[in-house]
């Protein structure tokens, strides 16, 4: 899959795909779809060094993150949605949402 390992405070993030349908159900043409600024963290570095102490990262693999339009560097691989970010370029994060199966037996 992905053989790159980020260093220090870097993260490898997979951008969410562009929305092709709006919330109201309207189709968005390909020419008007823009890259998302939300994605899922795939890999993280070991942390950042401050005064000789390694501080672990707050962000962990599997978390969903929000980042600015000009943040990071695109990773040129077969997957065009990968981006390398520094932890301080993350604007907000969310734990992954897990949906528990409902028991509809009544």
Q: What is the pTM of this model?
A: 0.70
Query: pLDDT tens-digit profile of 74-93?
Result: 877 776 778 899 988 888 88
> How far is the C-alpha of 16 from the C-alpha of 44, rounded, in Å?
18
Task: Name the band, by pLDDT with cuts 50, 70 and 90, for residue 106.
Answer: very low
* Residue-range domains of the chain with CATH: 10-16+35-94 (2.30.33.40)
Query: pLDDT tens-digit profile of 6-55?
Result: 888 899 888 877 666 656 666 666 655 556 678 888 888 898 888 999 89
For residue 91, how many other CB atoms are within 10 A of its CB? 12
């Amino acid at each position: 899959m992905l053989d790159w390992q980020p260093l220090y405070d870097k993260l490898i993030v997979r951008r969410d795909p562009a929305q092709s349908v709006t919330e109201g159900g309207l189709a968005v043409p390909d020419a008007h779809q823009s890259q998302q600024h939300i994605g899922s963290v795939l890999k993280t570095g070991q942390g950042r060094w401050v005064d000789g102490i390694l501080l672990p990262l707050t962000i962990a693999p599997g978390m969903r993150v929000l980042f600015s339009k000009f943040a990071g560097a695109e990773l040129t691989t077969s997957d065009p949605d990968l981006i390398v970010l520094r932890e301080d370029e993350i604007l907000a994060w969310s734990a992954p949402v897990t949906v528990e199966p409902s028991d509809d037996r009544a």
